[in-house]
Structure 1
Amino acid sequence: MIELSGLTKRYGEKVAVDHLTFTVRPGVVTGFLGPNGAGKSTTMRMLLGLDNPTAGDVRIDGKHYADLKDPLKYIGALLDAKAMHGGRSAYNHLLCLAQSNGIPRSRVSEVLETVGLTSVARKRAKGFSLGMGQRLGIAGALLGDPEILMFDEPVNGLDPEGIHWIRNLMKSLASQGRTVFVSSHLMSEMALTADHLVVIGQGRLLADTSMAGFIRENSRSYVRLRSPQQERLRDVIHEAGIKTVGAANGSMEVDGVSAEQLGELAARHQLVLHELSPQQASLEEAFMQLTAESVEYHAHSGGAAGAPPGAGWGAGVRQRHEKKNGKGV
């Protein structure tokens, strides 16, 4: 279990992490989401004692990271796949980690087999592709067979087979009762992997809820209907006290009423339906909705035709500066 209490990190006047309090529990994959600059990497670094908090506390199974003897047996982490000596072979890189944490040599071969790097175990890491380096970093996280695992962008550089593999690996680890904490910008992948979400923006906690609860609370859910008897269907729905919204292709949308209720209503009036489909936003749409006010770096499509390069970017910066200082735009 990972426990954060009022965790804060300041760099001068800049507040990178702002009084974060949440718990990452065992048995589920917990996704850690936030826009660029939200403080995710800083938070993860403080979990591992790589950065000292300005205030607050963070504990790994009830202990500070610095107090853990042989820490790889408690928590395994992938923060930077390139954080290794390029002149060492994959095997020797892992062997150094094992020997410094009291882990048997035999475990090195086991994790190399798990991540699919046995055939290149004696090759120097500097010759590895991004995906191979990522697999080696994951092997390092698994080396101590820890109860807590933390991954920052674990699918970065992996091919489709590798992405499918790491997704199933994380789910398998969680099903064993381990704590799995993973940060990623790939919303489609997170939607397939995470059971629970922690979302931050500008260093502050925005959400700590289940995946289903997050989407439900931060997006619109509705039912779309389409019928060759569209006008009659609309009248029947209105007579039942239900509001509709017109949509594309002559269909209509209904909020707050289930598809089952609407289907039964249409059946009672012998109306033919060509479409009766519940609609719910994706994780990406719900995330964008929640974090819209917390995005620090906004891209703009550009300025007027003929404007010099960077003009659109500069205008965007000026707008945000003027808003911040209370000026109209």
Structure 2
Amino acid sequence: MIELAGLTKRYGEKVAVNNLTFTVRPGIITGFLGPNGAGKSTTMRMILGLDHPTAGDVRIDGRHYDELRDPLTYIGALLDAKAVHGGRSAYHHLLCLAQSNGIPRQRVREVLDTVGLTAVARKKAKGFSLGMGQRLGIAGALLGDPRILMFDEPVNGLDPEGIHWIRNLMKSLAAQGRTVFVSSHLMSEMALTADHLVVIGQGRLLADTSMADFIAANSHSYVRVRSPQRERLLDVLHGAGITVVEAGGGSLEVDGDKAELIGELAAQHHLVLHELSPQRASLEEAFMRLTAESVEYHAHDGTPAAAEQPQARAQWGEDWRRG
């Protein structure tokens, strides 16, 4: 279990993490989401004792990271897959980690096999592809057989087979009762993987809830209906007090989760339906809605923003020439 209480990190005037309090529980996969610059990486670094908090506290199974003896046997983490000496082979990189943490040599071969790197175990890491580097980083996280796993962008660089593998690996680890904490910008993958979500923006906690509740609370659900007897269907729905919005392609939309009610009304009035489909926003749409005010870096579609109109650009050019 990972417990954060009022965790805060300031860099001068910049508040990177602002009074974060939440718990990452065992037995489930907890997704850690937030826009770029939200403070996710800083939070993970403080969990591992790589950065020291300005205020607040973070504990791993009730203890600070620097109080853990042989920490790889408590928590395994992948924060930066490139943090490997390029002149070492995959095997010797893991062997060095094992020997410094009191882990048996046999475990190195086991994790190399788990992540699919046995065939390249003696090759130097500097020749690895991005995906192979990710697998080596995951092997390092698994090396101590820890009860807590923490991954930052674990699918980065992996091919479809590798993404499927890491997804099932994380689910298997959670099913064993381990704590799994994973950060990713791939919303479609997070939707398939995480059970619980912690969402932050500009260093502040925005949500700490289940995946289903998060999407329900931050999205618009409706039912799409199509029928060749459109006018009769409209009369029936209006008669039942149901508000209908006409959409494109001859379809109708009804707010809320009323699919069963609409189906029953159609059956009672012998109406043919060509479509009756509940629609709910994706995790990505719900995330974008919640974090809209917390995005630090905004892109646009190429249309000049107010600050980029000709006069503003001319002033910018003048300022640039002046240095």
* TM class by smaller structure: over 0.9
Contact between 1:72 and 1:143, CA under 8 Å: does it hold in 2? yes
Q: Which residue of 2 aligns with 1:325?
A: none
Amino acid at match of 1:139: A
| Counterpart secondary structure, 2:151 | strand
Q: Which residue of 2 aligns with 1:226?
A: 226
| Counterpart secondary structure, 2:222 | strand
Q: Which residue of 2 aligns with 1:324?
A: none
How much does 1:260 deviate?
A: 1.1
The 5-angstrom pairing of residues 157-172 of structure 1 reads: 157-172=157-172
Q: Which residue of 1 aligns with 2:104?
A: 104
Q: Which residue of 2 aligns with 1:25?
A: 25
Over the aligned positions, Cα root-mean-square deviation in angstroms equals 1.2
| Counterpart secondary structure, 2:285 | helix
Bigger shift: residues 128-137 or 254-263: 254-263
The 5-angstrom pairing of residues 26-175 of structure 1 reads: 26-175=26-175
How much does 1:248 deviate?
A: 1.1
Q: Does 1:279 align with 2:269?
A: no
Whole-angstrom distance in 2 between the partners of 1:150 and 1:314? 42
The 5-angstrom pairing of residues 296-311 of structure 1 reads: 296-303=296-303
Q: Which residue of 2 aligns with 1:201?
A: 201
Whole-angstrom distance in 2 between the partners of 1:262 and 1:58? 50
Cα distance, 1:37–1:127 mapped onto 2, change above 3 Å: same
Contact between 2:48 and 2:65, CA under 8 Å: does it hold in 1? yes
Which digits, 9 at most, give the CA deviation of each residue in 1:252-282, with x for residues without a partner?
1111342111100111111111110011111
Q: Which blocks of at least 5 consecutive residues in structure 1 are unaligned?
A: 305-310, 319-329
Whole-angstrom distance in 2 between the partners of 1:228 and 1:16? 56
Whole-angstrom distance in 2 between the partners of 1:130 and 1:313? 38
How much does 1:313 deviate?
A: 7.8
Which digits, 9 at most, give the CA deviation of each residue in 1:124-144, with x for residues without a partner?
111111110100000000000
Contact between 2:257 and 2:278, CA under 8 Å: does it hold in 1? no
Please identify runs of 4+ aligned residues in structure 1 that moved more than 4 A: 311-315
Whole-angstrom distance in 1 between the partners of 2:53 and 2:42? 9
How much does 1:231 deviate?
A: 1.2
Whole-angstrom distance in 2 between the partners of 1:34 and 1:248? 34
Amino acid at match of 1:58: V
Contact between 2:221 and 2:257, CA under 8 Å: does it hold in 1? no
Which digits, 9 at most, give the CA deviation of each residue in 1:49-103, with x for residues without a partner?
0000000000000000000000000000000000011111110100010011100
Whole-angstrom distance in 2 between the partners of 1:31 and 1:137? 19
How much does 1:314 deviate?
A: 4.7
Whole-angstrom distance in 2 between the partners of 1:128 and 1:87? 11
Percent identity, aligned pairs only, is 83
Q: Does 1:176 align with 2:176?
A: yes
Whole-angstrom distance in 2 between the partners of 1:256 and 1:99? 58
Cα distance, 1:274–1:303 mapped onto 2, change above 3 Å: closer
Amino acid at match of 2:184: S
What is the aligned length?
310
Q: Which residue of 2 aligns with 1:291?
A: 291
Whole-angstrom distance in 2 between the partners of 1:193 and 1:116? 21
Which digits, 9 at most, give the CA deviation of each residue in 1:143-196, with x for residues without a partner?
000000000000001011100000000000000000000000000000010011
How much does 1:312 deviate?
A: 8.0
Q: Give the alignment's TM-score, normalised by structure 2.
A: 0.94
Q: Which residue of 1 aligns with 2:217?
A: 217
Whole-angstrom distance in 1 between the partners of 2:174 and 2:73? 16
Q: Which residue of 1 aligns with 2:265?
A: 265
Q: Which blocks of at least 5 consecutive residues in structure 2 are unaligned?
A: 313-323
Whole-angstrom distance in 2 between the partners of 1:72 and 1:155? 21
| Counterpart secondary structure, 2:113 | helix
